[in-house]
Amino acid sequence: MKKILIVTLSIITGFSACKKEENPIYTVTGVQPAETFIDHRDGKEYACIEIGDQIWMAENLAYIIPEPEIFGCRTFNEEYLSAKNITSRAGQQFIDSMNAAFGRNEIADPEGLEDSEKPSTKIANWTRAGNTFEEMNTQAEADQTFSPAIIQVMKRNQTIILLQVSQEHKKEADEANGNYSQQYGLLYSYEAALKAVPQEGGWRIPTDADWLKLEKQLGMSQEELNKKNEWRGDIQGIFLKEGEQGIGFNARFSGGKLYTPKYDSNSDNETFTRKGQNAYFWTAEKISEPDTTSLGMIRSVALFNDQILRTNTFLKNEDGHPVLFSVRLVKDKE
């Protein structure tokens, strides 16, 4: 694991490989603009590019996953939204939603109970006391005055509120960050990246083989293609960047939320880094080490480097918070 740790740490320290003095000249063939893709889940339109026999998105994915637990889908510098943060922010909203359900007789308190013993009262008291939704559910399931119907409504309303609060939080964080997602897309954990793929259009998270095919199309030699955990090629990274020398892939230096061996949960946003300097992209590869550590494989291009990095990274920090990178999608040319 030492070797892997060193490789992972090199991601944080800045990819300081130097340009070669004499760069070869390539003529990249088989590249042309492709039809744009409209993601009907949110209406966002993505520019696309044809590279060989593949179609790649020419923009980073910016789809917000419509699930309550979307902490693996974040904008740059978005602070972790803990369970306590959520109930503190949404407490009265949850009380109001439950009171409304009781008021329209969707659910009912058992008859013959004192006010303090009624589920409706307990829900309000637990919420005002700062209990998380998970803690409330555990208490309700152990309390005989709570019918299965009441618990079901509790969980349904919590799911709705979790999604609303999470998306409001993300929007506020994005706006405070200069609307990062409009230029760079969103940052995803490995698991969230897989969930964020649209079902329509034949798109997928690119495998390592997909990236190798792209890099070969750009002129990377087989010897360089085979290298791992280092910068590879000579000027292939230039072709992926924005600018006159780029082919239209338009990699932007979006940074990421990187793995750190020492982690302070009170400074979660400090592990966001390298914006304006590096672009990081997930591949679909997931590697299981003998000690059960999960690793993912990524690609990176850097502002001051003409090559392309192919390396592994831990999927999570020591406290379980995920590392976060950009997502580009690919599909086979029909």
Asked if residue 205 lies in contact with residue 304, where contact means CB atoms within 8 angstroms, the answer is no
Global pTM value: 0.83
d(CA 298, CA 312): 6
d(CA 69, CA 82): 10
User: Which residue ranges make up each domain of the chain?
Assistant: 2-75+184-332, 83-175
Residues in Cβ contact with 286 at an 8 Å cutoff, skipping those fewer than 6 apart: 190, 294, 295, 296, 315
Residues in Cβ contact with 215 at an 8 Å cutoff, skipping those fewer than 6 apart: 225, 232, 233, 236, 308
Asked if residue 310 lies in contact with residue 227, where contact means CB atoms within 8 angstroms, the answer is yes
pLDDT tens figures, 43-86? 999 999 999 999 999 999 999 887 765 578 999 988 887 778 88
Tally of CA atoms within 13 A in the half-sphere of 282 that contains its CB = 35
Nearest CA to 268 out of 314, 315, 318 is that of 318
Specify which residues 321 forms β-bridges with: none
Q: What is the pLDDT of residue 288?
A: 74
Q: What is the pLDDT of residue 69?
A: 59
Q: What is the pLDDT of residue 269?
A: 57
Which class for 58: exposed (0-12), middle (13-18), buried (19 or more C-beta within 10 A)? buried
The single-letter code of the amino acid at 27 is T
pLDDT tens figures, 278-320? 999 999 999 876 665 789 999 999 999 999 999 999 998 877 7
Residues in Cβ contact with 110 at an 8 Å cutoff, skipping those fewer than 6 apart: 118, 119, 145, 147
Structure token digits, residue 329: 């999608």
Q: What is the pLDDT of residue 157?
A: 96
With tokens 């992209």, the residue in question is 281
Backbone angles phi, psi at 50, to 5 degrees: -90, 125
Q: What is the DSSP letter of 135?
A: H
Nearest CA to 81 out of 165, 1, 191 is that of 165
Asked if residue 280 lies in contact with residue 174, where contact means CB atoms within 8 angstroms, the answer is no
Count of residues making up the chain: 334
Structure token digits, residue 104: 């329209």
d(CA 36, CA 222): 32
| Ranges of residues in the chain whose predicted pLDDT is under 70 | 1-24, 68-70, 262-270, 289-292
Asked if residue 100 lies in contact with residue 192, where contact means CB atoms within 8 angstroms, the answer is no
Asked if residue 237 lies in contact with residue 302, where contact means CB atoms within 8 angstroms, the answer is yes
Nearest CA to 286 out of 277, 295, 278 is that of 295
Q: DSSP characters for 277-297? A: TEEEEEEEEEEE-TTS-EEEE
